[in-house]
Chains A and B, each alone.
Chain A
Amino acid sequence: MFSLTPTDEQQMLIDTVRRYATEAVRPAAHDADERGAFPGRLVQTGWELGILPGSIPESLGGFADEYSAVTGALAYEELAYGDVSLALRLMTPALVAVPLLLAGTDAQRARMMEQFLGETPPPVTAALLEPAISFDPLRPATTATRDDEGCYVLNGKKASVPLAEGAASILVYAADAETGQAQGFFVEGGTPGLTVGPREKLMGLRALPAYSLMLENVRVDPGQRLGGEAGIDFGLILAHSRVGLAALAVGVMRGALDYAVNYAKEREQFGAPIATRQAIAFMLAECAIEIDAARLMAWEAAWALDQGHDARRAAYLAKEYAAKAALMVTDAAVQTLGGHGYIREHPVERWLRDARGFAAIEGLAIV
């Protein structure tokens, strides 16, 4: 049955996350962007909402009946409405938990799942992006070659790895030298050959500590390969990630439009609120349409994933669509505020910087 009404439980989650995003995150977002970090306390409060444990199935110690990308998308939109850097920061552990859920072996899950159910976020992250203009997530330049003892040897460079500094474990995606397929490898912090570079300086997402990573003959045990000997279907993980990014983009857009609508109704020029002019009103109406369209694209892809359909194409289109729409909407928000929109006292320019990121990033969020 076609329906777009979330379940009661999902609605409760939406309400909870929305309250946190509007009451706690939004007021802190400007300073976090300027300083490059959110206060640890705020991150901790966010973790205590239990979004990640709430998505892990009961069979693995979590609280969900079953894993749901739709539920994830709902929560991500609300988080990003607060702030997308915070959303990415808070959900970094999911970059490991969700692939583990989707593709881990039983032994890997047994070994690693518990850390995601604890009272503080585990210091784990994942590395997918690479510092190359023509980066292709399905065909990373980082390689994993087997040595004589059956271990994998990783070589390459990674970019924009969130919270890499001090991470106890990093899920590194590299092309299996034999098949050319992208595969995941758990690399422990401090493994010889693994160097965490300096913190990256980005246009947006500035409150998300992200680092470059160097891998020089980093040896990992075969048991550390995600999915074990069989490996993974990285396309599926990527689809989950794209839906996550799309949902985050929707949250950013929604925040920007709300702000622009309020401003346009207040701001008077030529003797009337600027919102009473079609040039402004139509721009905002188009934003509203794009936001709803982007959300439906994300939900549809998430729903298809939950149904077990092949949703790669849907997820790809959802992310492409959302990335484009996010740029259009946040740009329109800046335009609505005119010169004032260009000043950092208003959040719209930050949202425009953040939104530009969606075109550039893959794998930084996952539902």
Chain B
Amino acid sequence: MAISFEIPEKLRQGLQMTEAVAKGVMRGEARRLDEHEHERPATFISLMWPVLREQQKRQLDRQAAGGPKREGLGTLNLNMVLTFEMLSWGDVGQTLCMPMALLAGAAIEAVGTPAQKERFLRRFAEGDAPVWGAMAMTEPGAGSDTSAIQTTATLDPATNEWVLNGEKIFCTNGKLALDESNGIVVVWATVDRAAGRAGMKPFVVEAGTPGVTVDKVEIKHGIRASDTASIVFRDARLPYENLLGSAEVHRTDGTTKGFKGAMATFDASRPLIAASAIGVGRAALEFVKDKLAAEGIDIPYDRPYHALSAVQRDVIEMEMQLKAAWLLTLRAASMLDHGQHNSLEASMAKTKAGKVVTAITQQAVAILGPLGYSREWLVEKWMRDAKINDIYEGTGQINTLIVARRILDYSSRELR
């Protein structure tokens, strides 16, 4: 190997098509969808569905044929972050509406059996109607502290079914998955409350399951095109095989494969969220530079500190921070492609991107003055959209905590 920042030609070509969608479709719809919360990005969805469906089909067919996952070094994760960055440059809310298994798929890929993959993921690989997957961990009383979840899964020995009871909130695409398509939600529930993390298990809940209701969709600060649902489980019965991984509870080491499985999906999803943040940040930065250029203010990259105006310094700072976050993100994704363990790097990327893009978009509004604040332009929306990236998939603090534990070599008990 050698150090190289080269993005393979194939990925760059694919990205041109993605850019066409981001520019041609998403940007045009962005404002309307923001002003009409809960309306669906129909054009984007219908464009993406056939593409994502074919991708999922190829993957499933390859697995079904028993073929190797991939030959040599993959570029799957690198491609995903590039794509997410570009689509989010178009519009984050719409990006989140991609009809695909996404987080649910990641969990199933990580710990599911071949039969489970076929059963739960095939629906994302066929048909004319788009399908969504979602992941439900958060509860009213359990946000950052996922080990505090109260939703229970009890085995009914008579029928060999799991019985779910509880409430999940803030589930992205929960309504699209359960009410508007034949989708799935991976729901985290505890089979043994006293066991803490060791008792936490992921279950696949399919659309149409009796006892499962979407009872609320949130109204939000930003990413308004994305649906954020509350899901209530009242004696919802699931076949035994809807449990991902083993039902055993290992109390001794405090964590189990189930919990580790969830954490492993973060290794792939945190770089994606970082990439998504960066897409918004780039949109804001480019817009600011264009507007400044139109007023005769260029950004020089070869002048000393004293020769720069405050605005020029701001823009350089924004660009520098954005680039730093982007490189951390590319690293985290490419490590996965190289088969390297990347939890630390994924959290680094997520922390950095969430923080700097929040700051960049806020600064973009400030630099553009009254016009930046106007809903005629998208900058104020980007500022609202950006903020979510510092919150979900582990807040900035939680990801910092993960980094801190790693560099200090502390367990979650030693550093809370």
Binding site for B on A (CB under 8 A): 1-7, 10, 70, 133-138, 235, 238, 257, 261, 264-265, 275-276, 278, 281-282, 284-286, 288-289, 292-294, 296-297, 299-300, 303-304, 312-313, 316-317, 320-321, 359
Pick the contact of B5: A235, A289, A300, A359 (CB < 8 A). A300
Once the chains are docked, how many angstroms separate the CA of A293 from the CA of B329? 10
Mark each residue of chain B from 320 to 352: 1 if its CB lies under 8 Å from any CB of chain A, else 0. 100111011011001100100000010010011
Which chain B residues (1-33) contact chain A, with CB distance < 8 Å? 1-8
Pick the contact of A296: B302, B319, B324 (CB < 8 A). B324
Number of chain B interface residues as a range: 35 or more
Contact (Cβ within 8 A) A303 B4: yes
Pick the contact of A284: B8, B305, B407 (CB < 8 A). B407
Which partner residue on chain A sits nearest B403 by CB separation? A285
Chain A residues near B316 (CB, 8 Å)? 317, 320
Nearest-neighbour CB distance to chain A for B365, whole angstroms, equals: 23
Interface check B401, CB cutoff 8 A: yes
Chain B residues near A1 (CB, 8 Å)? 4, 6, 8, 73
Pick the contact of B7: A2, A7, A321 (CB < 8 A). A2
Nearest-neighbour CB distance to chain B for A265, whole angstroms, equals: 6
Contact (Cβ within 8 A) B324 A293: yes
Which partner residue on chain B sits nearest A137 by CB separation? B304
Once the chains are docked, how many angstroms separate the CA of A138 from the CA of B351? 36
Chain B residues near A284 (CB, 8 Å)? 404, 407-408
Mark each residue of chain B from 110 to 147: 1 if its CB lies under 8 Å from any CB of chain A, else 0. 00000000000000000000000000000000000000
Binding site for A on B (CB under 8 A): 1-8, 73, 75, 78, 301-307, 316, 319-320, 323-325, 327-328, 330-331, 334-335, 338, 345, 348, 351-352, 397, 400-401, 403-405, 407-408, 410, 414-415
Contact (Cβ within 8 A) A282 B404: yes
Pick the contact of B1: A5, A135, A136, A293 (CB < 8 A). A5
Majority DSSP secondary structure for residues of A touching B: helix
Once the chains are docked, how many angstroms separate the CA of A304 from the CA of B5? 8
Nearest-neighbour CB distance to chain B for A160, whole angstroms, equals: 15
Nearest-neighbour CB distance to chain B for A69, whole angstroms, equals: 11
Once the chains are docked, how many angstroms separate the CA of A2 from the CA of B337? 10
Nearest-neighbour CB distance to chain B for A351, whole angstroms, equals: 18
Q: Which of A257, A264, A313, A359 has the most CB of B within 10 A?
A: A313
Q: List 24 A-B contacts (CB under 8 A).
A: A1-B8, A3-B1, A3-B3, A10-B3, A138-B302, A238-B302, A257-B407, A261-B407, A265-B408, A276-B415, A278-B401, A278-B404, A284-B404, A285-B403, A285-B404, A285-B407, A292-B328, A292-B348, A293-B324, A300-B5, A303-B4, A317-B323, A320-B320, A321-B320
How many A-B pairs with Cβ below 8 Å? Answer: 132
Nearest-neighbour CB distance to chain B for A68, whole angstroms, equals: 9
Contact (Cβ within 8 A) A296 B327: yes
Other 6 A-B pairs with CB < 8 A, given A133-B306, A284-B404, A288-B403: A2-B7, A4-B335, A275-B408, A292-B345, A293-B325, A296-B324
Using known A-B contacts A285-B404, A297-B323, determine if residue A4 contacts B304 with beta carbons closer than 8 Å: no
Once the chains are docked, how many angstroms separate the CA of A70 from the CA of B3? 8
Which partner residue on chain A sits nearest B334 by CB separation? A2
Chain B residues near A313 (CB, 8 Å)? 301
Chain B residues near A297 (CB, 8 Å)? 320, 323-324, 327
Using known A-B contacts A276-B414, A293-B352, A316-B301, determine if residue A288 contacts B3 with beta carbons closer than 8 Å: no
Once the chains are docked, how many angstroms separate the CA of A114 from the CA of B325? 43
Chain A residues near B331 (CB, 8 Å)? 4, 292, 296
Once the chains are docked, how many angstroms separate the CA of A288 from the CA of B328? 12
Chain A residues near B75 (CB, 8 Å)? 2
Chain B residues near A286 (CB, 8 Å)? 400
